[in-house]
Amino acid sequence: MTKRLLEFGLTVVLLYTVTASIGSASELRMTPLVRAVQRARPSVVNIHSVKTIAGDEIFGSGKRRKVNGMGTGIVIDERGYIATNYHVIKGVDSLRATLTDGGSYTARVVSFDRKHDVAVIKINPGRRLAVMPLGTSSDLMLGEKVIAVGNAYGYENTVTAGIVSARSRDVVVNDKVSYKRLIQTDASINPGNSGGPLLNLDGEVVGINVAIRAGAQRIGFAIPIDDARVVLAQLLSIERLNGTYHGLLARERTTGKQRRLVVKASRPDSPASKAGFRPGDVILAAGKVKVADAVDFERALLGHVPGDKIEVVIRRNVGTRKLTLALGRPAKNVVTAKSETVVTPVAVRKPIADKTWRRLGLKLARVPATDRRFHGLMYRGGMRILAVRRGGPADRSGIRTGDVLVGLHVWETIDKDNVDFVLDHPKLASFSPLKFYILRGRETLFGHIAVDTLDR
């Protein structure tokens, strides 16, 4: 009897040991790679686009057709600002962004930089989004494990892993497109991954996936996040997007994983100068945003108007203090910047701002029907295009300075009242993107333009 009890007891112990082993399997499966993906995944955005093409030309008399595109984005601000590649949004008629929770939203292009292939788009999710954890590309090691997350071939939220194969690669894609200082990785990067994050094992973004080597397997490239953030700071500049001004000049310093934004100077008589910033001050926070670099500082000030006061926490010498920054207006509404940065400029909220400039990105002047360019044609006049706002709807649709706008949708555009009639039409959204007709030389061309609905 005693022997049987001992045998029974041994059996129970063995069963308990096996069960405990099975129960701990979930802990074994929760690898650093899995934790990294779980941390970053809520900030990954799947981008779907629609573009109108006609062969290899922007315009043409042949049949036009719609094509679908795909890409990936990274949430860089809780209000729905998303970083991606310029080539993902180039020339699109419409954009749709889908979050990992399934929420899908119409997106608009905010700004872009052609040369560095970086862009910012915006959605209005109606709630605060999770911002991608920020890492640094300055300390990446050859052989270090990295992870790519994106909309590969339209398969949303695809996760691939590999290593850092090389650093500072210069890559020539074609005669017009080349990149400098890219991260090379053997993590599988496919069409649709463009604009998505390259992560380290801490779940922090260290690069923006940008290109693959055609005909090669497991050779992909990413823009180092430290380089991309410099461009993104320009694209989020409040002077260009908000019509507000701070006048602070600062530089970023990265030591290991520590990032700091250090004041270099303040422009004379600027809000920053009046607030008391000094060279060497380290900016720790602006409003409710913790500041690691210029991107954080600019986005902390976005959405404010001239006169708004923002509390800025700085470290000076060995102590911290608070400064009050009262935003002002820029002297001029400058829209150009180095590196061919193109932004959607915001007028300084002047009620007299031209509607066609705000919503189409065009400045127009009337051309009478007696103008010689109309001889032999059936047009009763048109609107000559004096200026095209870089990065605006017209620019994205291929309209050029010197073209003559002769029609929108089904209406002729003889004068400004005709254009305003279309832009004020109560059913404008139903025929957007808006079909347009222009005269270029002696040739009539047509295309489609996505009307900007923002009150610029």
Active site residues: 87, 117, 194
The DSSP secondary structure of 316-357, one letter per residue, reads ETTEEEEEEEE-B--SS---B-GGGEEE-------TT--HHH
Give the CA distances from residue 365 to residues 209, 225, 408, 417, 445, in Å, rounded to whole numbers and listed in that order.
43, 44, 16, 12, 19
Please, are residues 182 and 219 in contact by the beta-carbon 8 Å criterion?
Answer: no
Taking CA 228 as the corner, what is the angle to CA 225 and CA 234, rounded to the nearest 5 degrees? 145
Please, are residues 433 and 446 in contact by the beta-carbon 8 Å criterion?
Answer: no
Chain Cα centroid distance, residue 411? 34
Residues in the chain: 456
Among residues 194, 229, 231, 240, the alpha carbon closest in space to that of 112 is found at 231
Distance between CA 227 and CA 95 in Å, rounded? 26
Dihedral through CA 273, CA 278, CA 281, CA 286, nearest 10?
A: -10
Among residues 355, 447, 454, the alpha carbon closest in space to that of 396 is found at 447
Do the bridges between strand 178-185 and strand 155-172 make them parallel or antiparallel, or are there none, so unpaired? Answer: antiparallel
At residue 121, φ and ψ (nearest 5 deg) are -120, 170
Which letter, b or e, does each residue of 341-352 get, where b requires 16 or more Cβ atoms within 10 Å of its Cβ?
A: bbbbbbebeeee
Element (H, E) at 78: none
User: How many other CB atoms sit within 10 Å of the CB of residue 295?
Assistant: 25
